[in-house]
Amino acid sequence: MRIGRHFLVLALWCAQCQVSMAGMDEAKAALGKGDYATAIKDFRPMAEQGDAVAQYYLGMVHANGQGVARDYEEAAKWIRLAAGQGHAGAQYMLGLMHALGRGVEQDDKEAAKWYRLAAEQGDANAQSKLAAMFEEGRGAAQDHKEAVKWYRLAAEQGDAYAQYKLGSKYANGQGIARDDKEAVKWYRLAAEQGDVDAQNNLGVMCEHGRGVARDYKEAVKWYRLAAVQADAGAQNNLGVLYRTGKGVPENRVVAYALFILSAANNFSPENRAPGNRDALARSMSEKEIEAAEGLMREMSKLGNFEKALDRYVRNPVIKSGS
């Protein structure tokens, strides 16, 4: 009789699990279709019964304002419940909310705590964020070796930002022995995913022959990809190659246009574009400068950078040096 009762309890528990799984699948499907009202209606009872996954999703729809008014405090309430049950995604999000002070008090130590819990479960986003906190000394003592450790774990999972940062650590010998070949390897992986900083830095490595054979054409390729994304450093670097005729035909008009575009995109004192612009202007005619300013305006139009650049190179309004 006792065995029969235990079997009945087990059968009822299995049936409840099947109902819960079906409800979760339906809620996720509704969320995927943008039917937020149905998703919230389905997630809420499961969340109230303590389901960590439902708590996480319910928190996220409140954080994103999907089907409800955006409410970070309500989001934090549900995300904290899920995080407390060990849900890695919720732990990462709670860390992020503490880092930004959204729905909770801004607290870098709390952010680092929750990032670490998620990172130890293999969450790549959390690993990357935790690495940044060690790198910058926020919420934890500055420790570049720890930063390298966590960046590497995230990078090995394909996180583009972590790949870029790991490349930078190798390039600068920070927290690890300098190794330009390793730097190029990680920059390339990130650059191929579209990381703009990695694209520019890979261009620098190719231009100067660090960790890879010097290749100006390859440098041009990566600078262009970053310049299209409005990276001021890459626009300046590409301008230098057009000014010197390395990897591309020398063209002062194009170089000047890139320098003024870079200067407009970044007012930082570290930007060398204003100095390059002014130095080049001294050897240019008024017509060349006017042509460069026109080219810059065309390149500045949304989605028109490469088209305008290539069109001018093929059919210059004025030949450089005229």
Question: Per residue in 87-109, pLDDT tens?
Answer: 999 999 999 999 999 999 999 99
| Structural domain that includes position 261 | 227-322
State residue 239's pLDDT score. 99
Tokens encoding 275? 């100095």
State residue 318's pLDDT score. 67
Residue of higher predicted confidence among 198 and 9:
198
39, 25 Cβ separation under 8 angstroms: no
CB atoms within 10 A of CB 296: 22
CA angle 88, 92, 182 (to 5 degrees): 100
State residue 22's pLDDT score. 63
Q: Can you tell me the distance from the alpha carbon of 276 to that of 83, in angstroms, rounded to the nearest whole number?
A: 52
Q: Is there a domain that residue 321 lies in?
A: yes
Q: Is there a domain that residue 317 lies in?
A: yes
Q: Indicate the pLDDT class of residue 315, thresholds 50, 70 and 90.
A: confident
Q: Can you tell me the distance from the alpha carbon of 292 to that of 319, in angstroms, rounded to the nearest whole number?
A: 11
Q: What is the three-state SS of 26-67?
A: HHHHHHHCCCHHHHHHHHHHHHHCCCHHHHHHHHHHHHHCCC
Block residue for tokens 């934890």 = 140
Burial status of residue 302 (CB atoms within 10 A of its CB: 0-12, 13-18, 19 or more)? exposed
Q: Indicate the pLDDT class of residue 316, thresholds 50, 70 and 90.
A: confident
- In the chain, the number of structural domains is 1
Output DSSP code: residue 206.
H
Residue 69 to residues 48, 81, 104, 164: CA-CA distances in angstroms? Answer: 20, 20, 17, 36
Between helix 252-265 and helix 305-314 the angle, nearest 10°, is 160
Does residue 317 carry a pLDDT above 90? no
What lies within 8 Å, CB to CB, of 63 at 6+ separation is 70, 72, 75, 79, 93, 97, 102, 103
Q: Is there a domain that residue 239 lies in?
A: yes
Q: How far is CA 237 from the centre of its chain?
A: 22
Q: Is there a domain that residue 247 lies in?
A: yes
CA angle 193, 200, 268 (to 5 degrees): 125
Block residue for tokens 């890979």 = 202
Does residue 13 carry a pLDDT above 60? no
Could you report the per-residue pLDDT of 235-257, keeping only the tens digit for each?
Answer: 999 999 999 999 999 999 999 99
Could you report the per-residue pLDDT of 39-81, keeping only the tens digit for each?
Answer: 999 999 999 999 999 999 999 999 999 999 999 999 999 999 9
Could you report the per-residue pLDDT of 22-41, keeping only the tens digit for each?
Answer: 689 999 999 999 999 999 99
Could you report the per-residue pLDDT of 163-190, keeping only the tens digit for each?
Answer: 999 999 999 999 999 999 999 999 999 9
Which phi and psi (to 5°) does residue 75 adopt? -60, -45
Q: Can you tell me the distance from the alpha carbon of 55 to that of 49, in angstroms, rounded to the nearest whole number?
A: 9
Q: Is there a domain that residue 310 lies in?
A: yes
Does residue 124 carry a pLDDT above 80? yes
Q: Is there a domain that residue 237 lies in?
A: yes
Does residue 120 carry a pLDDT above 60? yes
Please give the share of the chain, as a percent, with pLDDT higher than 90: 90
